[in-house]
């Protein structure tokens, strides 16, 4: 392994690494969370993972990445961090009650969902849970997966309200949702929907 081992457990009853835990761990190890000069963060997911992960600034030609993080500090060139699986299984689990986020939210007209107060979870956990709940209420009989995040300003943990609105469909299965935090545009989150049989 030529990279940094990521400290991630399974979440709730899931048997795969949750996207929000990967995002939070990457911000922590790259020391991006408290920086005021981060001007862009993009996270792309390529596949689910059930093994331990490591992050590296070097792309591995013979290894398929789980995710790719792209970030900018000030006006500098974007930096890339690839996440790859190791052979060892994840051997820890932490509780997760997604309903605490959902129950504190309100679906509004115009394909919008609103969270006005803290839920006890991180901002990315709130964003992902709210978007999944919103899309499930609009497009029934689909399983939703978080595939991409684009943030154009700092993700402030204590800012509210958090508001998500469906912006557009990309093809037949990708939904782009606009994120507003504290009344200001934050970025977009993309989910892929698969028909349930």
CB 16 within 8 A of CB 10: yes
What is the rounded distance in angstroms from the CA atom of residue 77 to the CA atom of residue 71?
9
**% of the chain exceeding 90 in pLDDT:** 83
Which CATH architecture is the domain 99-195 placed in?
A: Roll (3.10)
Indicate the average pLDDT of the chain.
94
What is the rounded distance in angstroms from the CA atom of residue 167 to the CA atom of residue 196?
23
Q: Given pLDDT bands bounded at 50, 70 and 90, which one contains residue 169? A: confident
Model confidence over 144-156: pLDDT tens digits?
Answer: 999 999 999 988 9
Q: Given pLDDT bands bounded at 50, 70 and 90, which one contains residue 54? A: very high
Confidence (pTM): 0.94
Strand-pair category, 93-94 with 10-11:
parallel
Q: Which residues pair with 1 in a beta bridge?
A: none
* pLDDT for the residue numbered 1: 56
The CA-based angle 19-25-28, given to 5 degrees, is: 145
With tokens 């469909």, the residue in question is 169
From-to residues of CATH 3.10.129.10 in the chain: 99-195
Query: Using the 8-state DSSP alphabet, how is residue 86 labeled?
Result: E
CB 101 within 8 A of CB 125: yes
């Amino acid at each position: 392994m030529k990279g940094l081992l990521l400290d991630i457990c399974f979440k709730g009853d899931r048997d795969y690494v949750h996207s929000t835990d990967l995002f939070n761990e990457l911000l922590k190890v790259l020391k991006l969370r408290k920086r005021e000069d981060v001007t862009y963060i993009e996270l792309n997911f390529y596949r689910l993972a059930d093994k331990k992960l490591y992050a590296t600034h070097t792309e591995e030609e013979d290894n398929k990445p789980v995710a790719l993080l792209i970030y900018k500090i000030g006006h500098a060139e974007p930096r890339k961090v690839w996440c790859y699986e190791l052979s060892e299984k994840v051997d820890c689990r932490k509780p997760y009650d997604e309903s605490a986020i959902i129950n504190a939210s309100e679906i509004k007209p115009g394909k919008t969902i609103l969270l006005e107060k803290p839920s006890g979870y991180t901002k990315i956990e709130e964003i992902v849970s709210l978007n999944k709940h919103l899309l499930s209420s609009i497009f029934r009989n689909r399983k939703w997966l978080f595939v991409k995040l684009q943030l154009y300003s700092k993700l402030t943990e204590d800012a509210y309200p958090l508001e998500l609105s469906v912006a557009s469909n990309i093809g037949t299965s990708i939904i782009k949702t606009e994120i507003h935090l504290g009344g200001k545009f934050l970025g977009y989150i993309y989910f892929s929907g698969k028909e349930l049989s």
